[in-house]
Chain A
Amino acid sequence: MSAPAPVTGVADRLTGLVGALRSHGVRIGTGETVDAAEALEALGLADRELLREGLAATLLHSTGQRRVFDPVFDVYFPRRVGAPGTGAPADRDDLRNRLAEALAADDRAALDRLAAEAVDGFGGYGASPGSDGWSSYQTLDRIRPQTLLARVRDTVRNRGGATGFTDRLLEDEIRRRIEDFRRRVATEARRRVAERRGRDEIARRAVAPTADRVDFLFAGRDRLAELRRAVQPLARKLATRLAARRRRASRGSIDLRRTLRGSLSTGGVPMRPVLRRRRPVRPELVLLCDVSGSVSGFSDFTMLLVQALHEQFSKVRVFAFVNRIDEVTGLLVPGAADPDGLGARIRAEATLTGWHGSSDYGVAFGEFAERYTDAVGSRTTVFVLGDARTNMSDPNLPAVRGVRERARRVYWLNPEPRSQWGTGDSAAPEYAEVVEMHECRNVHQLSTLIARLLPI
């Protein structure tokens, strides 16, 4: 199975690529690396895009990993080396003109060339070696491709490229092209920096992790939007897993009493084991979510996920709090709710704050225990979502203990890394003594936890 790599330099690059992918959590074995080398040999180095697909096919195992793979590939197998070599530094207006032209024509190759020129002309910063580099942010800030929208649209309209019904799609299409150009600039800037600082470092540091490993607390807006789109597929996956577990759990355990009674007809020899029948009880679920600024991304996501799983439970009730608590189950009706505005709607329509705007777990728990005693019963599993940062106020442990005593189980999912529990105003250790607390920093951890903790 050994494949001599075409050139030793290429073998180094390949192992470097594999190493960088591994450091991003993509699991690649030696066997796959050998396969990738064989693929490299079979495909040759002539066509970069074919090589990209070939390596992706041999090294990756799931769709989400592609997001990490593409930027890393661009660093290790760059399109070109050094500056674009246009000679004279580009003029900003001239560049914008040509960019508008390329956007109007949707000319991908031209966009690539322009991205290279733009980074070369406007992205450089710093003068001394070691502190200089190339910035995509600075490039885009100077070129401002988003301001070209109206111009490009008019150009296309004047040419009669879009008439009639599809004309209304034009703006969105151009917006997508501009977004695409921004990505090209980012790729180009990463490549230029990698030439200066070394590929390995850039591939490890400057490539965003896969969506399911992004920390909830640090996820930006677009990342959160991406996570919301992942809710439905994830829920479907979890639902099948739960259904399978329920099915399996419903067979196998022997009902001793009925087996022995049945054995009387065979003289006391248990010929036919009788299995225990399971009552089809579907559990109830109660969610207590901190929706204050810092952790709201995490809460929103979990609420949507649980709502998407509602068929698995007989009853789901969701409560949101900052320093007062209110029921928001009605705001989470599937289909009717648009997930993007969920957080805003909850904050607008529910009473969540009293005298001040910072979160207070103690008061919220107290109010929950007082107003919603009927929500928690012996069949209820309670999930608390939040970072347990009480702003130095009383954590109100008796209220939490009260909930724990009435409920079947209580779990606490904390989006902060375990090492930060108890630092500053965090009351996590105190709460963790009362209820089972789990670290839940990203979608990956959340889906494992949900699958493990959800009652069946």
Chain B
Amino acid sequence: MLFTSVDDVSARLAETGYLASPAVATTVFLADRLGKPLLVEGPAGVGKTELAKAVAQVADARLVRLQCYEGVDESRALYEWNHAKQLLRISAGRDETWDEARTDIFSEEFLLARPLLTAIRGDEPTVLLVDETDKADVEVEGLLLEVLSDFQVTVPELGTISATRRPFVVLTSNASRELSEALRRRCLFLHIGFPDEELERRIVRLKVPGLDEALTTSVVRVVGALREMDLRKVPSVAETIDWARTLLALGADTLDENVVRDSLGVILKHQDDILKAAAKLDLEAL
């Protein structure tokens, strides 16, 4: 058990610089208590990956990361035999019997552990981060099922390797593909949305401490208004922080039309969106 209570989660995550909403703190607490993997969904830039890093830091654990992409497979995710080394071993011992050589080259020494196996085998506390799970092919999900439900990996030549110590597993997804029901029901589900105004103010204050209090409030309010609009890409927390940093660098002390107009490109990434927002905020033509 890493945490004693939900408040404990919030407090300790906050120490590392991750301000968690009650939903996040509760779910992390439950994931730890029930020993289940945590599936985190949400728009880009709300801190899904950061959450895993923060938990690793709090628990003083090793972070093992599996970055998923289209075409990631067993040999990248789970394990691989070190063929070159096996060949060397065979040519080194020419005068031994077939059985000796066979049992020897399929031993742990020749096994290259990839992230999933590494996370299972470790003795120290481990946080396993499976990032952007939705980018991987459906077959990889099947691979994850054994790891996530029983925390074990089966290597045909060696047998089943079970976790001596259960890793804390975080899977993230941008929902570009619907993950399979089988995977979902093995996990606790957490949707991280945009934070409410108060929390976002605290986040900005923490990440950009130089920014003036009133300006922080204004920044958060403008971003909140933009999120209510029907934009192609709504600004995320990452963009709010970028904007706050930009304003700090520009030396602005209050928001006014000129400042907003000049720096709108930091938070909005499409020309249509910028025009739409300018119209909404009554800015003069860009």
Contact = CB atoms under 8 A, between A and B. Distances in A.
Interface of A: 27, 29, 31-32, 35, 38-39, 42-43, 47, 49-50, 53-54, 56-58, 60-63, 66, 164-166, 168-169, 172-173, 176, 229, 232-233, 236-237, 240-241, 335, 338-340
9 contacts: A38-B33, A42-B33, A43-B29, A50-B26, A60-B189, A164-B256, A166-B221, A176-B228, A240-B177
B189 A62 contact: yes
A8 to B, nearest CB: 22
B9 to A, nearest CB: 11
Interface of B: 6, 22-23, 26-27, 29-30, 33-34, 36, 41, 175-178, 181, 184-185, 188-191, 217-218, 221-222, 224-225, 228, 230, 232, 254-257, 260, 272, 281-282
Contacts of A165: 218, 222, 254-257, 260
A74 to B, nearest CB: 16
A57 B30 CA distance: 9
A29 B191 contact: no
Given A49-B22, A229-B230, A63 B257 contact: no
Contacts of B254: 164-165
Contacts of B26: 43, 50, 53-54, 57
Contacts of A241: 177
Contact of B221 (A31, A169, A339): A169
Given A39-B34, A63-B191, 9 more contacts: A42-B33, A58-B34, A164-B255, A165-B222, A165-B254, A166-B217, A166-B255, A169-B222, A339-B230
A233 B177 contact: no
Contacts of B22: 49-50, 53
B6 A50 contact: yes
A58 B175 contact: no
A62 B41 CA distance: 8
Contacts of A335: 232, 272
A164 B176 CA distance: 40
Contacts of B34: 35, 38-39, 42, 58
A103 B190 CA distance: 30
Contacts of A58: 30, 34, 188
A155 B168 CA distance: 50
B232 A232 contact: yes
B38 to A, nearest CB: 8
Given A54-B26, A61-B181, A240 B256 contact: no
Closest 4 A/B residue pairs (Cβ): A53-B26, A165-B255, A61-B184, A57-B27
Contact of A240 (B176, B184, B191): B176
Given A165-B254, A173-B221, A229-B230, A57 B190 contact: yes
Contacts of B176: 236-237, 240
Nearest to A63: B191
Contacts of A340: 230
B213 to A, nearest CB: 14
A29 B185 contact: yes
A29 B181 CA distance: 11
A7 B261 CA distance: 58
Chain B CB within 10 Å, residue with most, of A39, A63, A166: A166
Contacts of B33: 38-39, 42
B144 to A, nearest CB: 15
Given A57-B190, A169-B225, A237 B178 contact: yes
B27 A54 contact: yes
Nearest to A32: B185
B186 to A, nearest CB: 9
A233 B23 CA distance: 24
Contacts of B225: 169, 172-173
B166 to A, nearest CB: 15
A444 B190 CA distance: 22
A173 B30 CA distance: 34
Chain A CB within 10 Å, residue with most, of B26, B41, B260: B26
A338 B231 CA distance: 10
A27 B184 CA distance: 11
A27 B255 CA distance: 48
Contacts of A42: 29-30, 33-34
A29 B182 CA distance: 11
A338 to B, nearest CB: 8
A228 to B, nearest CB: 8
A43 B33 CA distance: 10
Contacts of A38: 33-34
Contacts of A35: 34, 36, 188
Nearest to B6: A50
B260 A43 contact: no
Nearest to A106: B197
Given A39-B34, A63-B191, A237-B178, A166 B222 contact: yes
B191 to A, nearest CB: 5
Contacts of B191: 63, 66
Contact of B184 (A50, A62, A169, A236): A62
Contacts of B218: 164-166
Contacts of A169: 221-222, 224-225, 281
Contacts of B282: 168
A51 to B, nearest CB: 9
A339 B176 CA distance: 22
Nearest to A50: B26
Contact of B185 (A31, A173, A237): A31
Nearest to A47: B6
Contact of A168 (B27, B190, B281): B281
Chain A CB within 10 Å, residue with most, of B184, B188, B190, B228: B188
Contacts of A39: 30, 33-34
Nearest to B220: A166
B189 A57 contact: yes
A338 B280 CA distance: 14
A53 B31 CA distance: 12
A53 B27 contact: yes
A176 B188 CA distance: 31
A340 B225 CA distance: 19
Contacts of A27: 181
Contacts of A166: 217-218, 221-222, 255
B269 to A, nearest CB: 13
